[in-house]
Amino acid sequence: MMARRTLCGLLAVLAALALAGCASIPTSGSVMSASLPATGNETVYIEADGPTQDASPLDIARGFIRAQAVGVYDDYRVAKEFLTSARAQSWDPGTETIVYTGEPAFSALGPDGTPADTTASGAAAEYVDVSGPIALAARVDSTGQFAEESADAEQVVSMRMVREDGQWRISTSPEGTLISMPNFTSTHRRVALQFLSPDRTYLVPDVRWYPVKNLAGYVAEGLLAGPAQWLQDAVATAIPPKTALNVAGSVQIDADGQVAIDLDQTILALDATARAEMMAQFAETLYQVPQVRSVRIMSGATDLTVSPATLMRDPTAGVSVSLVKDGRLGSIRDGGFHADDAFGAITVGKVTGLAVEAADGVQRGRTAIVRVGAGALYQIRAAGVAAGATPLLKAKTVSNPSIDRHGWVWTAANGKIVAISQAGTVRPAARWLEGRSVLAVRVSRDGARVAIVSRSAQDSAEASRVDIAAVVRDDGGAPSQLVQGIVAGGGIAGAEDVTWIGEATVAVLSDGAASSDATVFEAPLGDANQAQPAVGQAKALAGDWDIRSLYVLRTDGVLMSRSATGASWRQAATGIAAVAYPG
């Protein structure tokens, strides 16, 4: 048995929705009461009542939507009571989940289009149409991928009512499930399935949402199903293809918090290294389930539990932020700026951007990239590693650089993504970015994903977005393709800069079109964004392990950090030209 532990870093409790090629959100199960089991220290109760005698069409519509909140728990038993017998058989709640805010504003119309008598008795109409708009928060596709909607997104929901046994029932309704955001987050939990970087040194998260009921089972089956389609060519897994549970639905947590995963004989062929990697994937994924304290891997009577492989996480706390001040590279210590004597003075021009290599990089953290002016990148190296400044790229404009752990420097040159190394300059294929101008690029520490801020060719703030793409590399490690993945912070307008603040969360800087101040957003992947306090004259972000690590650089050279409470920003340093964490 393997006791609970952290593998090379903090355990991030993240998540998302089952993606293409992955286990689907369940739409069936045993019929039970509407009270939900405890998922942590609390018990969540959501009640849903069936239709009352002589309920009006409007009451039936509202009751149907309320009852869907417990559908993943009671097999949609209560929700189906609002449907005709035929519709209850044909309705598929699993095609899509629409997450909404507020209350639907329904109206009822008769066959002639006039307001209908909404009582059950006395209405002569053969049918009544009920419809109205709902405010969209997010959409969850049939496999569970969460996509946040824009702030003003709406959808009209329409249903037709007919009488069945003298009572109004719904004969026509949208496929899929409608659920409010509070109910969605109460009945589901964010979890990050953990896969491997292609070189099997890092864990790479794949964020999902799963129901809290039988959460460990859905998490295990999601991991067995493999990574999301957009990530498939950028990550690896130690779990052999088509591996399955010996008995479907058999994953249970015992009274001591141990979860046993009984897999088929496919895994018996794995060597010791692969078993340790598989153990790390299952352990780091299942430890996000609140009740799990230990993980055991079986194949029938054969116990395959081993110590997990030692794998890196992206990123870990405690890394210092790097700064450029008065032409010197350094850091903040004891409340002041301290130059790094390993690096000489930067004399190639006015520094406007910075990237520093991580300790596990090609040069072991002894190299940095500076942007000079608007359109030049230079590499600077510490003494003993070919010290000095080497020109890397010149263009009309280049964005703030980012260095991946393979030694590739990423930037947007004249609005197009390029990656540079000693092997040369490449432009990873990304046709989905055609017609857009890239403003910012930031590679995740694992090197498998990249956050991209882009804007439409019309330069409309409303058309800006933050994409998380998968990085596909050739046999030599060069980035050859960027696969479009998910949008982070779908409701954020005017995005200008982005930085990672955890393995599955980014911070986004918006240009503050509605005010003179810029707005900083925390945008977890596969979840709703959260606005942070505004910052005047903000131009760049730097972050690392979570929102507490975030710095904002202003145009006047003042560096701002979060206050102890997180409710405001405080001055951390002045006269700063550029700021960056490793990566």
Same domain, 373 and 297: no
In a domain, 308, yes or no: no
- pLDDT exceeding 90 applies to what percent of the chain? 69
Residue 554 lies in a domain: yes
pLDDT level of residue 73 (50, 70, 90 thresholds): confident
Query: Does a structural domain hold residue 38?
Result: no
Tens-digit pLDDT profile for residues 376-411: 999 998 875 556 788 999 999 999 999 999 999 999
Q: For position 129, which CATH number holds?
A: 3.10.450
pLDDT value of residue 393: 95
Residue of 234, 285, 288, 190 lying closest to 444 (CA atoms): 234
453 pLDDT tier (thresholds 50, 70, 90):
very high
pTM for the model stands at 0.87
Paired sense of beta strands 96-101 and 177-180, if any? parallel
552-581 pLDDT per residue, tens: 999 999 999 998 888 889 999 999 999 999
Q: Which of 484, 455, 458 is nearest to 471 (CA)?
A: 484
Span 294-319, pLDDT tens digits: 999 999 999 999 999 999 986 666 67
Tell me how far apart the alpha carbons of residues 512 and 496 are, in angstroms, rounded to a whole number: 10
For residue 1, what pLDDT is reported? 44
3-state secondary structure (DSSP) of residue 184: helix
Lowest mean pLDDT among 367-376, 488-497, 509-518: 509-518
Q: Tokens representing 121?
A: 């008795």
Written as six digits, the tokens of 524 are: 């977890």
Report pLDDT digits (tens) over 494-545: 899 999 999 999 999 998 655 557 789 999 999 989 999 989 899 999 999 8
Nearest to 209 by CA among 196, 219, 197: 219
Do 418 and 486 share a structural domain?
yes
Q: Which of 310, 296, 300, 302 is nearest to 1 (CA)?
A: 296
Give residue 92's pLDDT. Answer: 96
pLDDT band at 466 (very low <50, low <70, confident <90, very high): very high
> CA–CA separation, 146 vs 97, rounded Å?
9
**What CATH number should be reported for the domain holding residue 403?**
2.120.10.30
Show the tokens assigned to 115.
């307001």
For residue 22, tell me if it sits in a domain: no
pLDDT at 2 over 50: no
pLDDT of residue 34: 33
- What local confidence, expressed as pLDDT, does residue 69 receive? 93
Counting the structural domains of the chain, the total is 3
Confidence of residue 462 (pLDDT cuts 50, 70, 90): low
Structural domain contains residue 201: yes
* Whether residue 105 has pLDDT greater than 80: yes
Residue 317 inside a domain? The answer is no
Q: What is the pLDDT of residue 23?
A: 37
Is pLDDT above 50 for 63?
A: yes
- Give whole-number Cα distances, 241 to 244, 264, 270, 395, 517, in Å: 9, 12, 12, 45, 50
Q: Which amino acid is at 328?
A: R
CA distances from 539 to 146, 338, 378, 556, 567 (A): 29, 23, 21, 9, 20
Separation CA 132–CA 61 (nearest Å)? 10
Q: What is the dihedral of CA 100, 105, 108, 113, to 10 degrees?
A: -100
Please, what is the average pLDDT of the chain? Answer: 87
Among candidate residues 175, 205, 230, the one where a domain is terminated: 175
Contact (CB, 8 A) for 145 and 18: yes
Phi, psi dihedral angles at 439 (to 5 degrees): -100, -30
Q: How many residues does the chain have?
A: 583
What is the span of the domain harbouring residue 106? Answer: 57-175
The first and second tokens of residue 531, run together, are: 């606005």
Question: Residue 19 class from Cβ within 10 Å (0-12 exposed, 13-18 middle, 19+ buried)?
Answer: buried
Residues 260 and 232 in one domain: yes
327 & 296 share domain = no
Look at residue 180 and tell me if it is in a domain.
no
440: three-class secondary structure by DSSP: strand
pLDDT band of 117, cuts 50, 70, 90:
low
The answer to whether residues 540 and 552 touch, using CB atoms and an 8 Å cutoff, is yes
Which of 354, 353, 355, 358 shows the shortest CA–CA distance to 319?
358
Question: For 164-177, what is each residue's pLDDT tens digit?
Answer: 999 999 999 999 99
Residue 109: C-alpha distances to residues 106, 159, 161 (Å): 10, 11, 10
Choose between 380 and 9: higher pLDDT: 380
In the chain, the percentage of residues whose pLDDT exceeds 70 is 87
**The predicted structure's pLDDT at residue 115:** 84
pLDDT tens digits, 253-272: 999 999 999 999 999 999 99
Residues 6+ apart with CB under 8 A from 132: 104, 105, 106, 107, 156, 157
Q: Is 377 helix (H, G, I), strand (E, B) or coil?
A: strand
Rounded CA gap, 382 and 368, in Å? 9
